[in-house]
Amino acid sequence: MHVLLIGAGGFLGRHLAAALVAAGHTVTGTGRRDGPPPGHAVQHWRRLELTAAGRAADWPALLDGVDAVVYAAGLLRERRRGEFDAIHGRAPIALAGAAAASAGVRRIVLISALGAGEAVDAGFLGSRVAAERALLALAPGVGVVLRPSLVYGVDGRSTGWLRRLALLPLTPLPGDGRQPLQPLHVADLCTAVARLLQADAPVPPGGIIEAVGPAPLTLRTYLAALRHGLGLPAAPVLPVPVGLLRLAARWLAPWRAQPLCPETLTLLLRGNTGDPAALTALLDRPPRPVPAFAAGEHQSAERAESAAGLAAGLARAALAL
């Protein structure tokens, strides 16, 4: 199949491109860059500014000759006001309309976020709701929504941040650290997307799949597992008052290189769990549990890399102070 991969330049897009090419597909990636990053797996590339792709008329040229579309673009925080709505809302809605009208497009996969169906605000989660509804209404039987939980990947920014926290001699946690999570390995998410491109893929009624790990665990347990995977003994916990974290998140928000901001803190505090049944059916096996992927096969190299990142982060914080 010829697959159009929107948001191919990001963490998830890179992994998806490699998985889809390995599965035998021809992939055209899109992104803000003029060309794919070095070492990228896509065979073709189209520059695309999603903030300027909010009309159905913006998409037919990109869809010419395309059999399937995977929309993997997303933001955790806005660079400019209105980007959530443009990238999570208007662009995928316009794409859904154009793709549904194209006789050649047989599958549209929208990668959303766990919790989008419960969102009441217009931020990271709420901005995704309209696109989910539009896709499922405009392309019934063709459109599928994947709602991933926290995604683990050693080259992912959030994973790197959590691994650096796990390296500290005291593990800082919001409150008691019992916020529920259900992390999913990026390889399982990519396998799920590739499986959805097959004609016999099991899609539940309603077209929404919660892409989560096999069982919930707490943030405290997750960080302990990451620490164990780095070859370190258990560390004592340092509870941090949530009110203090909220102040820190607002203060640190302008520094985009670090992940703590009001949006990410809100997502963390609300919890992130779901039902793995549909994903298990799609994979034809349970998604891999945290202990299976947290135990690093190259502990010393991963530990050194995480330590270097931690040192750099502490240096930036010291300079900021």
What span, in angstroms and rounded, lies between the C-alpha atoms of 200 and 146? 17
End-to-end CA gap in the chain: 53
pLDDT of residue 199: 92
Q: pLDDT averaged over the chain?
A: 88
The full DSSP string for 19-31 is HHHHTT-EEEEEE
130 and 164 Cβ atoms separated by less than 8 Å: no
Task: Indicate if the pLDDT at residue 270 is higher than 90.
Answer: no
Contact 98, 59 (CB under 8 A): yes
What pLDDT does 241 receive? Answer: 95
Q: What is the CA radius of gyration of the chain?
A: 20
What tens digit of pLDDT does each residue of 18-54 get?
A: 999 999 999 999 999 999 988 899 999 999 999 999 9
**pLDDT attached to residue 115:** 86
The model's confidence at residue 209, banded by pLDDT at 50, 70 and 90, is: very high
Q: What residues contact residue 64 under an 8 Å CB cut-off, 6+ apart?
A: none
Q: Exposed, middle or buried by CB within 10 Å (0-12, 13-18, 19+), for 192?
A: buried
| Gap between the Cα atoms of 185 and 213, Å rounded | 8
Q: What is the pLDDT of residues 217-227, one digit of tens each?
A: 999 999 999 99
pLDDT at 309: 47
Calpha distance 147→135 (Å, rounded): 14
Q: pTM of the entire structure?
A: 0.90
Instruction: Please state the rounded mean pLDDT for residues 114-128.
Output: 75
Q: What is the structure's pLDDT at 149?
A: 94
Q: Which of 166, 172, 180, 159 is nearest to 225 (CA)?
A: 166
